[in-house]
Every structure is written in structure tokens, then in C-alpha cells.
């Protein structure tokens, strides 16, 4: 049994081996080892455990060369921190009365200094 996945790279689809402890889902962004080095790809379908004969058959259909090159990593989306909204209530939170008086005075409010 072998864990395999069809990975879309550019306009082509290629067959890769997937590590035993990994399950790829359709649309997962991955890094693959190729003859050109490490390249990006997208899983065309979920990875699957198949018999060696099935792997060879799929390999013939996709033009794969054996042994299959491996998927070496999965890319993860890590969003940047969202900037804090310009909310005046948050800006003044934690200020002392003296600091608040100065802030209000600088904005044209009545000053208690």
C-alpha cells in the first residue's frame, strides 16, 4: 500500500508519494520535491492509500516516473495581526484622570488643569 496524491503544478497534474502520517485534502497547498528542486503545488484531490498495482496504473495514466517523488510539506495560512480599529474608547482606556484631562484639552474640550 502506498499513500499518493495527484498534485496540480501550473497546467499539469503529477503523481507524488505522500508521507504515511499525512492526509491531504483537495485544495491543500503543498511543497513537492521535483527534478527542478522544491516546487509549489495544489492537491487535485484527497490523498489516498492504494495498492501498488493501482499506483502503477495511475502512474501510467499521469505519466509518472517511479519511484514517485515525495510531497515534502504542506503550506499553512497564517494571517497577519489585524490592526486595532481606531476606537476612541479603547484609546482612552487605562489613562489616568490627569492624562485624560490633557488629551481632552488638546482636542479643544474644556480644560481642568
pLDDT digits (tens, 9 = 90+) for 33-59: 999 999 999 999 999 999 999 999 999
pTM: 0.69
Residue-level pLDDT at 6: 96
Contact 17, 68 (CB under 8 A): yes
- Tens-place pLDDT, residues 68-93: 999 999 998 888 877 655 555 556 66
Report which of residues 63 and 84 the model is more confident about: 63
Per-residue confidence band for 7, with pLDDT thresholds at 50, 70 and 90: very high
- Tens-place pLDDT, residues 93-112: 677 777 777 777 776 666 65
Distance between CA atoms of residues 6 and 15, nearest Å:
5
Give the residue from 26, 24, 29, 33 showing the smallest Cα distance to 41: 29
For 64, the grid coordinates are 509518472
- Domain limits of the chain? 2-74, 85-113
Residue-level pLDDT at 80: 83
Residue-level pLDDT at 68: 96
Amino acid at each position: 500500500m502506498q499513500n499518493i496524491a495527484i498534485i496540480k503544478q501550473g497546467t499539469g497534474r503529477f503523481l507524488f508519494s505522500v508521507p504515511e502520517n499525512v492526509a491531504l485534502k483537495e485544495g491543500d497547498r503543498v511543497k513537492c520535491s521535483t527534478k527542478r528542486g522544491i516546487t509549489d503545488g495544489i492537491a487535485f484531490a484527497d490523498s489516498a492509500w492504494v495498492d501498488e498495482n493501482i499506483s502503477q496504473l495511475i502512474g501510467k495514466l499521469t505519466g509518472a516516473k517511479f519511484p514517485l517523488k515525495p510531497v515534502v510539506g504542506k503550506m499553512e495560512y497564517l494571517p497577519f495581526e489585524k490592526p486595532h480599529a481606531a476606537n476612541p474608547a479603547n484609546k482612552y482606556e487605562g489613562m489616568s484622570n490627569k492624562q485624560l484631562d490633557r488629551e481632552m484639552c488638546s482636542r479643544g474640550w474644556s480644560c481642568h488643569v
